[in-house]
Chains A and B, each alone.
Chain A
Amino acid sequence: MSLPVDVLAAGVAGGTSIMFAALGETIGERAGVINLGIEGSMLAGALGAYVVAVETGSPWTGVLVGGIAGAALAAVHAFLVVWRRANQMASGLTVLFLALGLTALFGVKYVGSGKKLDHAFDVWNVPVLHDLPVVGQILFEHNALVYLGFVTVPVVWFALFKTRIGLLVRTAGERAETLTVHGYSVPWLRTLAVTCGGFLAGIGGAYLSIGYANAWRENMIQGKGFIAVALVIFAVWSPVRVMAGAWLFGCALSLGSALQARGYEVNQFLLQALPFVLTLVVLTVIGRRTLSSSPAELKKVFENAETG
């Protein structure tokens, strides 16, 4: 196979975990809450899914439990910032460190080869579509969780922009006082959005542990949650752009591997930095434009942080 096709196909597979997490973060930020603990939700999801998939032999139950674990952690963040009015940055980081500690503690039995997941999700070629030239190889030779990611993008878009609840969530992020006037509870809407976001981040973590690496290891998310938070801004809070950005990041990851495997003499440390450099560059280029289009209530978070 050719290098570009390999890189793109591997980029789609490698970017899927970030895509789930960034879609989740989009929902929360649309409601006016930034969650730096998304990395923690991914960790909780990765461990929850791995444990359940190993113990029950059912990977789909694992995905569900992974999502619930991610949602539970995000609910803690929502409680702290929405109901206790804690600082959003501080709470997010606290929740992340809580998750790092707890997952390392409870996951220790599942590190290494002690409790093994043999096969979680097999690659399944989509009939007809995978025969398409180029596109078939890039998009339709993956496992079911990658396809679930494809489906989640329009679902999140539809939910946010075409449903009543989506409108309410977005209003909570734009003009919260309007909702109060009409008798809606802004705290509950935000709690709902953040928890749903945590659910998707949990699935992103589950994808890593049982749909990609097929292993559990403490701190296995390795900063992908933070990349997801950055990606949401780069994607201007749009689910479709989140998908594009996640694939771009995935391709930057897979480009390094593909170059190494083909014998190009490139410094490994430079290659490992490439995806992050790319994210920084993109953010810098796009940053100015996005600030004006960010949810109004989200801007307040930063402004309050500066003045208070």
Chain B
Amino acid sequence: MSNRKTTALLAGLALIAALSGCASASESGSDVKDDAGKGVTKIGFIMVGPKDDYGYNQAVYEGSQALKADFPDVEILTAENVPEDDTAATTMEQMISKGAKLIFATSYGHLDAAVKVAEKHPDVIVLQQGNTITTDVPPNMGTYFGTVYEPMYLAGIAAGASTKSDKLGYVYAFPIPQTIANINAFERGARSVNPDVETITAATGSWCDPSAQKDKAAALLKAGADVLTQHQDCTATVINTAKEAGAMTVGYHADASALTPDLWLTGAVWNWGPLYKQLVQKVIDGTFVGSEFNANYRVGFKTGTNPFVLAPYGPLVSDDTKAKIEAAKAFLATPDGSPFVGPLKDNKGKEQVAAGVVPTYAENDAMDYFVDGVIGSVK
């Protein structure tokens, strides 16, 4: 193709892009009614992966299907493997054309498409799972998520009470705030029952690279860890590596006790049912606009709808430990309950939370340091 033709083509494309941009912008505006979504009879869920991934997306799917029991008259539409680009908007549009008045866009990267669809359809409520709207939240939108570090704190108690070497191993991907909070809560939970325990960390640099997971897990075991846990999307490799070495496992995402029945302690697993039910009820009642959900809504054990719960216990967890975990869970449900109540030092000795201070959810979501007792660097 000649240069001139290419230029003409590019200019044409740019013009089309600009025009379509104007078109969608002109349709935005706040004509959202106060009872938008009232009496919804069809609900759409879009998921970024397959509904049977034994992880994030399966949890969403199971949560969506659980709604059928509470709302037998409501039809649930689901779409799997929806990419985090404009395909997401197209998929949501299709659901709306089928009559859906409530959409759950369940992947972090679905947010942009969700905002676009919400602007275009003031009569539809669009909820996004896990991301945060940094501008004013539109009246027909909301984001929601849970606090995974709470069950990781409880799992830390099980690990701290069970370890013989006083060393716990943590395989993670990147030092992002959510992961850092998980690791810190795990160590804090372990410390609460075992003052000598340390959590050693190793980063794979990927959400799922099985051979890197094997490298890291093996190195943690060599360094003396006898309990392994992780923050990875695929979990089997780390669990198998621990099992082969006779080390215990704390799970993540899914109950994997079937993989390592004798050495399974517990873990953080998903349960979206209760929160989805609350959200749907609010929309059906026509009271969503202006409610607490019409915002960046975060839940924990305090609200009783944390989508992250503790997995069933394995045989190594003693009754005494279970009682301690129950007590800690009750504490986290109190207004001042948190894994990070001050005084809290980082692993370089600097005080991060003053004595008696309870950090907020937002502060925990922005953690950029490892607490005392964690071996590793956030850099």
Q: Which residues of A contact B (CB under 8 A)?
A: 1, 6, 10, 13-14, 17, 108, 111-114, 116, 118-119, 122-123, 208-209, 212-217, 220, 222, 224, 253-254, 257-258, 260-263, 265-269, 272
A124 to chain B, nearest CB (A): 12
A224 to chain B, nearest CB (A): 8
Q: Are A212 and B211 in contact (CB under 8 A)?
A: yes
CB distance from B264 to the nearest CB of A (A): 14
Q: Are B235 and A113 in contact (CB under 8 A)?
A: yes
Interface residues of B in 206-234 (CB under 8 A from A): 208-216, 218-220, 222-223, 225, 234
A257 to B213 Cα, complex, angstroms: 10
A284 CA / B141 CA spacing, docked (Å): 56
Q: Which residues of B contact A261 (CB under 8 A)?
A: 169, 200, 202, 216, 219-220, 222-223, 225
Q: A108-B50, A213-B237 are in contact. List 19 more A-B contacts (CB 8 A).
A: A14-B214, A111-B53, A111-B234, A113-B55, A116-B236, A118-B259, A209-B210, A213-B210, A214-B240, A215-B237, A224-B211, A254-B218, A258-B223, A262-B223, A262-B375, A267-B379, A268-B175, A268-B205, A272-B205
Question: Residue on B with the closest CB to A122?
Answer: B244
| Inter-chain contacts of A119 with B (CB < 8 A) | 240, 244
Taking CB atoms and an 8 Å cut-off, the chain B residues in 246-304 that contact chain A are 254, 256, 259
Q: Is the CB of A260 within 8 A of B201?
A: yes
A258 touches B214 (CB 8 A): no
Contact between A257 and B219, CB atoms less than 8 A apart? yes
* Complex contacts, B87 vs chain A, CB 8 Å: none
Say if the beta carbon of B377 comes within 8 Å of chain A. Answer: yes
B205→A222 contact, CB < 8 A:
no
Which of A220, A261, A263 counts the most chain B CB atoms within 10 A?
Answer: A261
B244 touches A220 (CB 8 A): no
- Indicate if the CB atoms of B259 and A116 lie closer than 8 Å: yes
- Considering the complex, give the chain A residue whose CB is closest to the CB of B81: A108
Does the CB pair A123–B244 fall under 8 Å? yes
The 10 A-B pairs of least Cβ separation, nearest first, read A213-B210, A257-B219, A113-B54, A261-B223, A215-B210, A263-B375, A261-B219, A268-B203, A265-B377, A260-B202
B52 touches A (CB below 8 Å): yes
In the complex, chain A residues whose CB is within 8 Å of the CB of B203: 260, 268
Between A and B, 12 residue pairs with Cβ closer than 8 Å are A10-B215, A17-B211, A112-B55, A118-B240, A208-B211, A214-B236, A214-B240, A257-B219, A260-B376, A262-B223, A267-B379, A268-B175
Q: Which residues of B contact A213 (CB under 8 A)?
A: 210-211, 213-214, 237
Q: Is the Cβ of B222 less than 8 Å from the Cβ of A6?
A: yes
In the bound complex, do residue B209 and residue A258 qualify as a contact, i.e. CB atoms below 8 Å apart?
no
**A residues less than 8 Å from B212 (CB atoms):** 222
Q: Write the chain B residue with the least CB distance to A214.
A: B240
Task: Return the contact of A217 from the options B200, B209, B225 (Cβ within 8 A).
Answer: B209
Contacting pair A217 B210 (CB below 8 A): yes
A residues near B169, Cβ cutoff 8 Å: 261
- In Å, the complex CA distance between A128 and B212 comes to 31
Q: Give bound CA distance, A254 to B236, whole Å.
A: 20
If the complex has contacts A113-B54, A260-B201, A272-B205, are A265 and B215 also in contact, measured as CB distance less than 8 A?
no
CB-CB nearest in chain A for B172: A268
Enumerate chain B residues within 8 angstroms of A123, measured Cβ to Cβ: 244
**A127 to chain B: closest CB distance in Å?**
20
- A17's nearest neighbour on chain B, judged by CB, is B211
* Complex Cα gap A269–B379 (Å): 9
A277 to chain B, nearest CB (A): 15
> Among A220, A254, A257, A262, which residue has its beta carbon within 8 angstroms of that of B209?
A220
Contact of A215 among B175, B234, B256 (CB under 8 A): B234
User: Is B200 touching A214 in the complex (CB atoms < 8 A)?
Assistant: no
Q: Is the CB–CB distance between B219 and A6 below 8 Å?
A: yes
Q: Cβ of B375 and Cβ of A220 under 8 Å apart?
A: no
* B347 (CB) vs chain A CBs: closest residue: A263
One of A1, A113, A266, A267 near B236 (C-beta < 8 A)? A113
- Bound-state CA distance A207–B54 (Å) is 24
B234→A217 contact, CB < 8 A: yes
Choose one: B205, B210, B236, B379; the contact of A220 (CB below 8 Å).
B210
Min CB distance B241 to A, Å, is 8
User: In the complex the two chains form, what is the Cα distance from A253 to B214 in whole Å?
Assistant: 11
Other-chain residue from A17, A114, A262 in contact with B54 (beta carbon distance below 8 A): A114
- Give bound CA distance, A113 to B201, whole Å: 24
Of the listed residues B215, B237, B244, the one surrounded by the most CB atoms of chain A closer than 10 A to its CB is B215
State how many angstroms separate the Cβ of A278 from the closest Cβ of chain B. 15
Interface positions, chain B 41-90, Cβ under 8 Å from A, are 50, 52-55
Q: Are B211 and A222 in contact (CB under 8 A)?
A: yes
- Expressed in whole angstroms, the minimum distance between the Cβ of A274 and any Cβ of chain B is 12
In the assembled complex, how far is the CB of residue A27 from the closest CB belonging to chain B, in whole angstroms? Answer: 24
| A122 CA / B241 CA spacing, docked (Å) | 11
A261–B225 alpha-carbon span in the complex (Å): 9
A209-B211 Cα distance, complex, nearest whole Å: 8
- The reply to whether A258 and B222 contact each other, CB–CB distance below 8 Å, is yes
- The answer, among A112, A208, A257, A269, for a CB contact under 8 Å with B216, is A257
CA distance A1 to B225 in the complex (A): 13
A112 with B234: CB separation less than 8 A: yes
Is the CB–CB distance between A114 and B377 below 8 Å? no
Separation of A36 and B254 alpha carbons in the complex (Å): 38
A113-B254 CB under 8 A given contacts A260-B216, A261-B169, A261-B220? yes
In angstroms, Cα B202 to Cα A269, docked, is 12
